[in-house]
Structure 1
Amino acid sequence: MSDRYGDSTRAVKAVSSQPIPGDPVGPGPVLASAFHLSDDEGSEANTYGRGSNPTWSQLESALAQLEGATTALTFGSGMAAITAALRVTAKPGSVLVVPADGYYQVRRYAAESLVPLGITVRGVTAEQIYRAAEDADVVLAETPTNPALDVVDLHRLAQICHARGARLLVDNTTATPLGQQPLSLGADLVVASATKALSGHSDVLAGYAAGSHPELMAALERERLLAGAVLGSFEAWLVLRSLGSLGLRFERQCQNALALATAVARHPKVGSVRYPGLPDDPSHPSAVAQMKRFGGLVSLELADAAAVHALVRHSELLVASTSFGGIHTSVDRRARWGDPVPDGFARISAGIEDTDDLVADVLSALDA
């Protein structure tokens, strides 16, 4: 898609069908598990709902355009996309690097399902990942990391991986394709949860993988077909319907996150604050070099778990919820899920509320 367009225009055009007179401007989902077959056996685009669906195809085309990929494949969740990618790329006897400071379920999957297959799994932090990549066959990077929000230099990491023939997979969930383009920085594959900002309404589970290596994408498509980790056609339509407003929503979320991070950093009850968009954040130089926007997540540290609960209780706008990327600003105390963070560590996912209202509400809740 032409780079002369802004991100909201790109998002709208990505979900737009060809203008055919008489067709709806906003097509509905194709709710079908079986399709009419032609006499020309083997030529059908759609035969059975586990293999393909017209609604999938439109969503996958939109995701590929936004990620700068030739192909995208949808999955039933972000974990389904990531685990499929790991099964395809990490083989018995290989060395796989996964984030020790990223999404905890990925580490669990690697330990419980891949190690028994003879795959060596090494969990490393964003700071350690460059050295670890020198001896790896597959590297999965998450950037910014969730929940610490450290930024991995993807161009540097890609050079290390490709010098030894290793595959680089990048989880682009927190940044979204409107914040960061991993494929243009050298990644072999993007994996992400569309449950978060892409769908943005906290009402659907979805994931995807995007890339431009034909053999890798074909292997992933075969894995999806055989494992059956498919996205329902109605869920695909929900993501597609939401994708057109991604530019507007994500812009406000990033705006709110920066305003919140700036405001709470000066509050006496708040310890460390992490947001890649803050000029004094340790990851800011790397973020500026590779990110167009810095995302909707802010991490901060309060005194203890009770302080995090009190923040939500005294607020009129904050929602206590895990996951992120929705229209409501949410707070998640990550230690409850086993992340190696202090008890008072909170991840805030900025919503689309008016910025002044949100900042005033959070500061008032901290003062209560």
Structure 2
Amino acid sequence: MENPTAPKAGAMLHLRGNTLFEGDPVALPLTQSSMYHLPGDWTGGPSYGRVDNATWEHLEHVLAYLEDAPTLAFPSGMAAISAALFATVKAGSKLLIPSDGYYVTRRLSERFLQNLGVEVEQRPTTSFADGGFEGFDVVFAETPSNPGLDLCDLRAIADAVHAAGGLLIVDNTTMTPLGQRPLELGADVVAASDTKAPGGHSDVLMGHLATRNEEILQAAREWRQFGGGIPGPQEAWLAHRGLETLEIRFDRMCSTAQVLAERLAAHPRVQAIRFPGLASDPSHGLAKQQMLRFGFLISVTLDSAEQADAFINNCPLIRAATSFGGVHTSAERRARWGDAVAPGFVRISVGTEPAEELWNAMAASLAALGS
């Protein structure tokens, strides 16, 4: 793969440990304070809980190591995406977003950005570069797309966007910095939901933005500070703890997803399947070029909405839930949220269960659909 290798996970685990003095706690302390002691004139240290917090600052330190770029933490993935957009567009700007990406990004753009004078255009992921990027101030890409798992060529898009004078933001939620590195492929900004695999335990909302563009970074920091969209210290502590096991969980999830996808592709109940790791997938060639791993999401299409619900609900090792990236395998019928997919379309988020045990449970649930 052409994409540079991910940061070393062992070094990530010791970023804080290698700065400790005798008697310091090894585990990250939780700084739960809205106020700081400020006698006399302020000298530039921590001043107020909406501006400074040692717990979320260390979370940012670890995320910055993973992204190899300055990073800001936010209380959700959409808070990070909002900061990326509000830091780069203004009235009169022209914005391009994917028509088949995460639906909340579309709703944010249509409901609010358009009302503030931003011109918003949409294109499908597979033809995202068609028509070029002349006139666009900001291009927002998502690859693999959620939930369809289509890909677009990030390096080619970044080159074309920059040649046209624009900025490229990439939503890297589905892959994490361990699976895909958009900044190395030319993106100006990466935004992601750490609610998913980085947090990993379905118990915290968190997001981050990473960029090497100091002007964008400062604008996003001011958007967070003045708008008040800050992460809570308890949530930041949980997200940091999740990051400590990300490499282990992500490796297991991606490896198991490959096994399951190959078996699901051959199952008679599965009408269609999308997984970038399958040689038969239309995006497989591009995935090999720009992704370090093929991810842990699988999309399958069954005969009907009824079969999709039965497959999910009758499998004891699948949790019926929205979102993805947890240690528990989860799935949902995405048509219920209005995505432009078939009624029987199911997005599966592979967890950390043993592969054979998980497959046996899935196979039994699929077999029961005909009974």
Tell me which interval the TM-score lies in, with the shorter structure as reference length: over 0.9
**Residues 220 and 329 from structure 1, CA distance in 2 versus in 1: closer, same or farther, beyond 3 angstroms?**
same
| Cα distance in 1 between the residues matched to 2:64 and 2:110 | 31
Aligned to 1:101: 100
Identity %: 46
Aligned to 2:35: 34
CA displacement, residues 248-282 of structure 1 (integer Å, 9 cap, x when unaligned): 00001101111111111111110111011111111
Secondary structure of 1:110's counterpart equals: helix
Shift of the alpha carbon at 1:18?
1.4
| Cα distance in 1 between the residues matched to 2:40 and 2:367 | 72
Backbone CA RMSD of aligned residues: 1.5
For residue 53 of structure 2, what is the amino acid of its counterpart? N
CA displacement, residues 135-181 of structure 1 (integer Å, 9 cap, x when unaligned): 21101111111011111211101000110220100001001000011
Aligned to 2:299: 299
Secondary structure of 2:324's counterpart equals: coil
User: Aligned pair 1:134/2:95, yes or no?
Assistant: no
| Cα distance in 1 between the residues matched to 2:239 and 2:211 | 19
Q: Is the 8 A contact 1:126 1:145 kept in 2?
A: yes
Shift of the alpha carbon at 1:8?
3.2
Secondary structure of 2:71's counterpart equals: strand
Aligned to 2:287: 287
For residue 299 of structure 2, what is the amino acid of its counterpart? S
**Aligned runs of 1:52-63 on 2, under 5 Å?**
52-63=52-63
Shift of the alpha carbon at 1:19?
2.5
Shift of the alpha carbon at 1:39?
3.4
**Residues 237 and 307 from structure 1, CA distance in 2 versus in 1: closer, same or farther, beyond 3 angstroms?**
same
**Residues 154 and 88 from structure 1, CA distance in 2 versus in 1: closer, same or farther, beyond 3 angstroms?**
same
For residue 22 of structure 1, what is the amino acid of its counterpart? G
Under a length normalisation based on structure 1, what TM-score does the superposition of the two structures give?
0.96
**Residues 291 and 106 from structure 1, CA distance in 2 versus in 1: closer, same or farther, beyond 3 angstroms?**
same
| Cα distance in 2 between the residues matched to 1:169 and 1:235 | 25
For residue 43 of structure 1, what is the amino acid of its counterpart? G
CA displacement, residues 274-297 of structure 1 (integer Å, 9 cap, x when unaligned): 011111111111111011111110
User: Aligned pair 1:19/2:13, yes or no?
Assistant: no
Shift of the alpha carbon at 1:17?
5.7
Shift of the alpha carbon at 1:320?
0.3
| Cα distance in 1 between the residues matched to 2:129 and 2:39 | 52
Q: Is the 8 A contact 1:173 1:196 kept in 2?
A: yes
Q: Is the 8 A contact 1:85 1:220 kept in 2?
A: yes
Aligned to 2:109: 110
**Residues 38 and 61 from structure 1, CA distance in 2 versus in 1: closer, same or farther, beyond 3 angstroms?**
farther
Secondary structure of 1:177's counterpart equals: helix
Secondary structure of 1:191's counterpart equals: strand
| Cα distance in 1 between the residues matched to 2:8 and 2:285 | 23
Q: Is the 8 A contact 1:17 1:25 kept in 2?
A: no
Shift of the alpha carbon at 1:133?
4.7
Aligned to 1:214: 214
CA displacement, residues 70-120 of structure 1 (integer Å, 9 cap, x when unaligned): x10011110011011111111111110111111001101100001111111
Shift of the alpha carbon at 1:27?
2.1
For residue 97 of structure 1, what is the amino acid of its counterpart? L
**Residues 16 and 97 from structure 1, CA distance in 2 versus in 1: closer, same or farther, beyond 3 angstroms?**
farther
Q: Is the 8 A contact 2:257 2:296 kept in 1?
A: yes
Aligned to 2:79: 80
Shift of the alpha carbon at 1:6?
6.8
Under a length normalisation based on structure 2, what TM-score does the superposition of the two structures give?
0.95
User: Aligned pair 1:230/2:235, yes or no?
Assistant: no
Structure 2 gap segments, 5+ residues each: none
Shift of the alpha carbon at 1:315?
1.2
**Residues 56 and 273 from structure 1, CA distance in 2 versus in 1: closer, same or farther, beyond 3 angstroms?**
same
**Aligned runs of 1:220-259 on 2, under 5 Å?**
220-259=220-259
Aligned to 2:89: 90
Aligned length: 364
| Cα distance in 1 between the residues matched to 2:5 and 2:118 | 44
| Cα distance in 2 between the residues matched to 1:170 and 1:153 | 11
| Cα distance in 2 between the residues matched to 1:339 and 1:281 | 21
Shift of the alpha carbon at 1:38?
4.9
Shift of the alpha carbon at 1:131?
2.8
For residue 156 of structure 1, what is the amino acid of its counterpart? A
Q: Is the 8 A contact 1:29 1:233 kept in 2?
A: yes
Aligned to 1:261: 261
Secondary structure of 2:130's counterpart equals: helix
CA displacement, residues 289-321 of structure 1 (integer Å, 9 cap, x when unaligned): 011111110001001111111112321201101
| Cα distance in 2 between the residues matched to 1:253 and 1:146 | 17
Q: Is the 8 A contact 1:319 1:329 kept in 2?
A: yes
Shift of the alpha carbon at 1:13?
3.1
| Cα distance in 2 between the residues matched to 1:80 and 1:14 | 26
